[in-house]
Amino acid sequence: MTIRAGKSVREYLENRVYIKQVTDFGDTKLFDAAVLPCIIVFSSKDHNEGKTRFTSIYQTHELESGECFESVFDAIDVSGFFSLEDGRAFEIKQGELLTDKNGAPWQLTTSKSSKWLAQVDDSTWKRFSDIGRIRVGIKTTADNVFIKEIWPDDEPTPELLMPLITHRNAGQIIPDNQDYWKVLYPHTTINGKKVAVNLEMYPNSLGYLQQHRRQLEGREYVLKAHRNWFEIWVPQNPEAWKNRKIVFRDIAEKPQFWLDDSGAIVNGDCYWIEIYDETSDDEVMLALAVANSSFIEDYYDIKFNNKLYARKRRYMTQYVDDFPIPDPSSEGAKEVISLVRAIVLNNRPCNHDTMSNLDIAISELFC
Within a domain: 129:
no
Q: What is the mean pLDDT of the chain?
A: 92
pLDDT surpasses 80 at 98: yes
Within a domain: 123:
no
3-state helix, strand, coil in the chain (%, to 5): 35, 25, 40
Within a domain: 137:
no
What was the pLDDT predicted at 44? 85
Are residues 345 and 251 part of one domain? yes
Question: What is the crossing angle of helices 281-291 and 352-366, to 10°?
Answer: 100
Within a domain: 288:
yes
Are residues 249 and 228 part of one domain? no
Strand partners, 148: 182
Within a domain: 200:
yes
First-residue to last-residue Cα distance in the chain: 28
Are residues 220 and 258 part of one domain? no
Are residues 360 and 256 part of one domain? yes
Within a domain: 235:
yes
For residue 40, give its domain range.
4-109
Which pLDDT band, with edges at 50, 70 and 90, does 272 fall under? very high
Are residues 251 and 362 part of one domain? yes
- DSSP letter for 138, please: B
Q: What is the DSSP string of 247-316?
A: EEESEESS--EEEE-S--EEBTTEEEEEE-TT--HHHHHHHHHHHTSHHHHHHHHHHT--B-GGG-EE--
What was the pLDDT predicted at 26? 86
- pTM of this structure: 0.87
pLDDT surpasses 80 at 259: yes
Are residues 18 and 102 part of one domain? yes
What was the pLDDT predicted at 61? 76
Strand partners, 173: 258
Q: Report how many domains make up the chain.
A: 3
Which pLDDT band, with edges at 50, 70 and 90, does 354 fall under? confident
The answer to whether the beta carbons of residues 60 and 27 sit under 8 Å apart is: no
Within a domain: 135:
no
Are residues 357 and 251 part of one domain? yes
Are residues 263 and 290 part of one domain? yes
Exposure pattern of 307-346 as b/e (b: 16+ CB <10 Å)? Answer: beeeeebbbbbbbbeebbbbebeeeebeebbebbbebbee
pLDDT surpasses 90 at 27: no
Are residues 348 and 289 part of one domain? yes
Taking Cα atoms as reference points, which of 94, 136, 85 lies closest to residue 112?
A: 94
Are residues 330 and 235 part of one domain? no
Within a domain: 59:
yes
CB atoms within 10 A of CB 258: 24
CA dist list (Å): 118 to 93, 112, 122, 299, 367? 19, 10, 6, 11, 10
Taking the C-alpha atoms of residue 356 and residue 350, their distance in angstroms, rounded to an integer, is 10
Are residues 309 and 215 part of one domain? no
Q: H or E stretch including 89?
A: strand 89-98
CA dist list (Å): 165 to 15, 121, 175, 195, 241? 44, 33, 10, 22, 11
Last residue of a domain, one of 109, 126, 159: 109
What was the pLDDT predicted at 65? 59
Taking the C-alpha atoms of residue 347 and residue 344, their distance in angstroms, rounded to an integer, is 5
Are residues 360 and 257 part of one domain? yes
